[in-house]
Amino acid sequence: MNKMIMMIVVLLPMLSGVLIPLLPFRNRRQMMIYIETAVLLNTILVFLMLANPPQNALVLFKFTGNLSVSFRLDGLGRIFAGLISALWPLSVLYSFEYMKHEKHEKYFFMFYTITYGVTLGVALAEDIVTMYFFFEMLSLITLPLIMYTLTREAIHASRTYFYYMTGGAAFAFIGMIFILSYGTTSNFVPGGVIDLAKVGDKTNLLLIIYVLCFCGFSVKTAMWPFSSWLPKAGVAPTPVTALLHAVAVVNTGAFTLMRVTYYSFGTELLRGTWAQKAVMTLVIITIVYGCGRALKETHIKRRLAWSTVSNLSYILFGVVLMSPLGLTGALSHMVFHSVMKICSFFCAGAVMYQTGRTYIYELDGFGHKMPKVFVLFTISGMALMGVPGLCGFVSKWNLVKAAVASRMPLAYVGVAALLISALLTAIYMLSISVRAFFPGKQFDYGTIRDVKDPNWMMILPLTVFAVAMFCFGLHPAPLLELFRQVVSVF
Claim to verify: residue 354 and residue 466 sit in the same structural domain? yes
Claim to verify: residue 260 and residue 307 sit in the same structural domain? no
Torsion over CA: 92, 96, 99, 105 (sign): positive
Average pLDDT over the chain, rounded to whole? 90
Claim to verify: residue 258 and residue 343 sit in the same structural domain? no
Contact 274, 308 (CB under 8 A): no
Q: What is the pLDDT of residue 34?
A: 94
Residue type, 36: E
Contact 480, 332 (CB under 8 A): yes
Q: 183 has which bridge partners?
A: 194
As a residue count, the chain comes to 490
Q: What is the pLDDT of residue 235?
A: 74
Claim to verify: residue 2 and residue 55 sit in the same structural domain? yes
Q: Tell me which residue range forms the domain holding 419.
A: 272-490
Claim to verify: residue 216 and residue 276 sit in the same structural domain? no
Contact 467, 397 (CB under 8 A): no
| 357 burial level (CB within 10 Å; 0-12, 13-18, 19+) | middle
Report which secondary-structure segment, H or E, holds 9. Answer: helix 4-19
Claim to verify: residue 350 and residue 476 sit in the same structural domain? yes
Claim to verify: residue 229 and residue 296 sit in the same structural domain? no
Contact 373, 266 (CB under 8 A): no
Contact 247, 255 (CB under 8 A): no
Contact 197, 286 (CB under 8 A): no
Residue type, 196: L
202's CB contacts (< 8 A; 6+ apart) are: none
Measured CA to CA, the distance from residue 243 to residue 249 in angstroms comes to 7
Contact 107, 240 (CB under 8 A): no
Claim to verify: residue 138 and residue 58 sit in the same structural domain? yes
- Which of 244, 270, 296 is where one domain is finished? 270
- Which of 205, 237, 270 is where one domain is finished? 270
DSSP state of 219: T
DSSP state of 236: S
Contact 240, 308 (CB under 8 A): no
Measured CA to CA, the distance from residue 233 to residue 302 in angstroms comes to 9
DSSP state of 265: I
Q: What is the pLDDT of residue 66?
A: 73
Q: DSSP letter string over 105-137?
A: HHHHHHHHHHHHHHHHHHHHBSBHHHHHHHHHH
Claim to verify: residue 289 and residue 367 sit in the same structural domain? yes
Claim to verify: residue 63 and residue 140 sit in the same structural domain? yes
For residue 101, the number of C-alpha atoms closer than 13 Å in the C-beta half-sphere is 4
Low-confidence ranges of the chain (pLDDT < 50): none
Measured CA to CA, the distance from residue 4 to residue 50 in angstroms comes to 13
Report which secondary-structure segment, H or E, holds 224. Answer: none
Q: What is the pLDDT of residue 449?
A: 84
| 449 burial level (CB within 10 Å; 0-12, 13-18, 19+) | exposed
Q: How many structural domains compose the chain?
A: 2
- Which of 270, 285, 314 is where one domain is finished? 270
Claim to verify: residue 123 and residue 249 sit in the same structural domain? yes
Q: What is the pLDDT of residue 262?
A: 94
Q: What is the pLDDT of residue 61?
A: 82
pTM of the model: 0.92
Claim to verify: residue 303 and residue 223 sit in the same structural domain? no
No. of helices (H) and no. of strands (E), the chain: 21, 2
